[in-house]
């Protein structure tokens, strides 16, 4: 029976270990004193662990055909999670445990690890991996382990306090893997101008432009911060921003503060002004746009809130409409990995056999989860990828 060592006791590592244990001796080595620390903070502690629409278009990746092959196992993996007693509460396609507690997911997985007599070595920080003939040698500061097969599942660089400190990238690189530069993903953005709208949460439409070319659009919750943008739709664009800025390109986001209005805004203003005669611009807009945002719009457009639509010149009308429906924000940076929910970059899928998650560079080395250059949007996609890739690797070690 092969000895399989899983490096990392997070989502992908735990699933990989459970599947591998069906036919192999398995040891999990975990750098923390507990497994699954990152699971506990997922979904603000509620653990959004899956989505009803797991497809490649929800991920930022160039090798979409390879990702499609991995995601083709999604129903099998979802059934496996259910077999472990994880019962879902589904809201708008988002899967949460019915308990509403991420803790229950972690406990279910770790209790199953114990039931299957899988050895777990805590506070085992891997410093190096070498290969001596057919055996892997896993080194820590004070110990050494031998394995027939290794599953690298130690996470990316996001939320380093949970143990994802980028060690896995270094280990893979030492074994000969190339690496696409890791960058923060699902991370707040930093703008070049601070506006007085800190703390405002609104629904908005965001269009991303990279060096003047449209690169993405998101509709949803936007959080306006003291020095930038956050919220789901902003986070979903942040991975592309990270890549663009790292490549020396310009990044700009334009905000539509009135996305529910389907009409042309000029036509909408004409109609609303006719319906509500003798009202100021402030009065026409104050039930639609947040007061703090309105104040900023009036200030930057240099239009007084007590003016009336019918008295505005054509030029001023167009300026006002532009700032309401296409407000420009220049992005100069992102927050650090400590604020990032995932990592952009990593080991390219083209170097992995996606049928088994085995490395094409090193035989019997398997790489899963956030270590791979696959990053998804908010909504359970990244955790779903961790489950699926870990599951495939757990099966792969048996072949």
The per-residue pLDDT for range 190-227, each reduced to its tens digit, is 999 999 999 999 999 999 999 999 999 999 999 999 89
126-157: b or e for each residue (b if 16 or more CB lie within 10 Å)?
beebebeeeebebebeeeebebbbbbbbbbbb
CATH number, domain of 123, equals: 3.50.50.60
pLDDT range class, residue 162, cuts 50, 70, 90:
low
pLDDT attached to residue 263: 74
User: Quick one: 145 and 273 in the same domain?
Assistant: no
Determine the structural domain holding residue 206 and report its residue range: 188-335
Is 221 strand, coil or helix?
Answer: strand
User: Quick one: 13 and 87 in the same domain?
Assistant: yes
Q: pTM of the prediction?
A: 0.94
User: Quick one: 145 and 28 in the same domain?
Assistant: yes
Pure H helices in 11-147: 11-20, 37-41, 64-71, 74-83, 102-115
| Token pair 């696959």 in the structure block, residue | 374
Number of domains in the chain: 2
The per-residue pLDDT for range 72-112, each reduced to its tens digit, is 999 999 999 999 999 999 999 999 999 999 999 999 999 99
pLDDT range class, residue 277, cuts 50, 70, 90:
confident
The per-residue pLDDT for range 375-399, each reduced to its tens digit, is 999 999 999 999 999 999 999 998 7
- Choose one of 301, 318, 335: the last residue of a domain: 335
């Amino acid at each position: 029976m092969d000895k399989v060592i899983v490096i990392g006791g997070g989502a992908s590592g735990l699933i990989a270990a459970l599947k591998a244990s069906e036919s192999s001796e398995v040891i999990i080595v975990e750098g923390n004193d507990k497994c699954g620390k990152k699971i506990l903070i997922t979904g603000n502690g509620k653990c959004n662990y899956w989505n009803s629409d797991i497809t490649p278009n929800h991920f930022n990746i160039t090798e979409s055909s390879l990702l499609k092959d991995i995601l083709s196992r999604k129903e099998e993996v979802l059934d496996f999670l259910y077999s472990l007693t994880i019962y879902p509460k589904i809201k708008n396609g988002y899967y949460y445990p019915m308990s509403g507690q991420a803790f229950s997911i972690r406990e279910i997985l770790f209790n199953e690890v114990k039931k299957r007599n899988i050895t777990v070595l805590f506070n085992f920080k891997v410093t190096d991996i070498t290969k001596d003939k057919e055996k892997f040698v896993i080194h820590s500061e004070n110990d050494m382990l031998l394995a027939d097969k290794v599953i690298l599942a130690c996470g990316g660089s996001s939320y380093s306090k949970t143990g994802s400190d980028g060690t896995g990238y270094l280990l893979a690189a030492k074994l000969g893997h190339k690496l696409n530069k890791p960058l923060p993903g699902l991370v707040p953005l930093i703008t070049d101008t601070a506006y007085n709208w800190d703390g405002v949460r609104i629904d908005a439409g965001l269009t991303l432009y990279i060096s003047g070319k449209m690169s993405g659009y998101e509709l949803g919750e936007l959080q306006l911060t003291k020095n930038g943008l956050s919220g789901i739709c902003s986070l979903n664009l942040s991975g592309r921003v990270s890549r663009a800025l790292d490549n020396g390109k310009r990044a700009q986001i334009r905000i539509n503060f009135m996305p529910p209005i389907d009409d042309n805004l000029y036509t909408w203003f004409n109609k609303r002004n006719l319906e509500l005669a003798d009202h100021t611009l402030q009065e026409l807009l104050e039930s639609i746009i947040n007061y703090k945002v309105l104040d900023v719009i009036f200030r930057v457009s240099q239009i007084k809130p007590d003016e009336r639509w019918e008295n505005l010149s054509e030029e001023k009308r167009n300026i006002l409409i532009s700032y309401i429906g296409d407000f420009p924000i220049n992005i100069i940076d992102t927050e650090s990995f400590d604020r990032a929910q995932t990592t952009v970059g990593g080991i390219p899928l083209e170097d992995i056999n996606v049928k088994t998650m085995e490395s094409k560079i090193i035989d019997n080395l398997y790489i899963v989860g956030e270590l791979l250059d696959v990053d998804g949007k908010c909504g359970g996609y990244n955790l779903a990828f961790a489950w699926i890739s870990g599951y495939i690797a757990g099966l792969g070690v048996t072949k």
